[in-house]
Amino acid sequence: MTTEPPSVLYNELAPWWPLLSPREDYEEEAAIYARALKAAATPEPITVLELGSGVGNNASYLSSDFELTLVDRSPAMLAVSRALNPACEHIEGDMRTLDIGRLFDAVFIHDAIIYMTTEEELRATLATAARHCRPDGALLVIPDHVRERFVTTSGHGGTDGADGRGARYLQWSWDADPTDTRYETAFTVMLRQADGRVESHHERHTCGLFPRNTWLDLITEAGFEVDALPFEHSEIEDGVCEMFVGTRAKPASLLRH
């Protein structure tokens, strides 16, 4: 299991995330996730475990439909989320090894799954999902990319705050070696303080890139009946992104009754 260097973006810069990636940008996608979770679980889910919840932007919308438990490795990101989502349970933990000792109606893993860069890490994370999901519960996983559809991309964003602060970022992703299970993403972040001072930060992340069939096979291996569904969002080109939606299989002992 790999050990990543500390990320300034997810630690020291966590308080800037409401400006780097505003909550309002997540309303449409959160509605997509809510529909998928409700369709995959029988009966519809009430309790949902989110692994890699970040500052809780998706959770701030999903919490109107579900009782959420939010897990992230970064205490700084969790602190921002607690302020945004005070009614949600927050737990500091690693999605590869987490065991909180109870079952949920659904498990949700958004783009934090991209930091699983080997099949071993991906398998461990999916085992965590299975360990926490009740029979006939739902799993929803949304990686940013699969191998077959990967193209070099760039993006930017950010906004200004009422207090005079502002934040902007540039993100650039590419595949340096098409024979491995990784791609690279570089971030440049510029932050303007209320007094006009501007500082910049740069860091490079290594992310996981797996073929579609690897996702399907490993989710099935973890104990879910899985399907790949299109991610249909007004700001994303059709056919570019998919969601992996699973239903937790009942243990054989239950099927015999």
Question: Tens digit of pLDDT per residue, the chain (257 long)?
Answer: 444 556 999 999 999 999 999 999 999 999 999 999 999 999 999 999 999 999 999 999 999 999 999 999 999 999 999 999 999 999 999 999 999 999 999 999 999 999 999 999 999 999 999 999 999 999 999 999 999 999 999 999 999 999 999 999 999 999 999 999 999 999 999 999 999 999 999 999 999 999 999 999 999 999 999 999 987 777 777 766 899 999 998 876 554 44
Per-residue pLDDT at 201? 98
What does the alpha-carbon distance between residue 157 and residue 182 come to, in Å, rounded to a whole number?
24
**Stated pTM of the model:** 0.94
Per-residue pLDDT at 233? 79
**Residue 113 phi/psi, 5° resolution?**
-65, -20
Which domains can be identified in the chain, with CATH numbers?
14-147+210-255 (3.40.50.150), 150-207 (2.20.130)
Whether cis (ω within 30° of 0) applies to the bond prior to 43 is yes
Per-residue pLDDT at 255? 47
Nearest by Cα to 228 from 146, 128, 125, 108: 146
Per-residue pLDDT at 3? 47
The answer to whether 48 and 30 have CB atoms below 8 angstroms apart is no
What does the alpha-carbon distance between residue 130 and residue 247 come to, in Å, rounded to a whole number?
10
Per-residue pLDDT at 256? 45
The answer to whether 8 and 203 have CB atoms below 8 angstroms apart is yes
SS (H, E, C) the chain: CCCCCCCCCCCCCHHHHHHHCCHHHHHHHHHHHHHHHHHHCCCCCCEEEEECCCCCHHHHHHCCCCEEEEEECCHHHHHHHHHHCCCCEEEECCCCCCCCCCCEEEEEECHHHHHCCCHHHHHHHHHHHHHCEEEEEEEEECCCCCHHHCCCEEEEECCECCCCCEEEEEEEEECCCCCCCEEEEEEEEEEECCCCCEEEEEEEEEEECCCHHHHHHHHHHCCEEEEEEECCCCCCCCCCCEEEEEEECCCHHHHCC
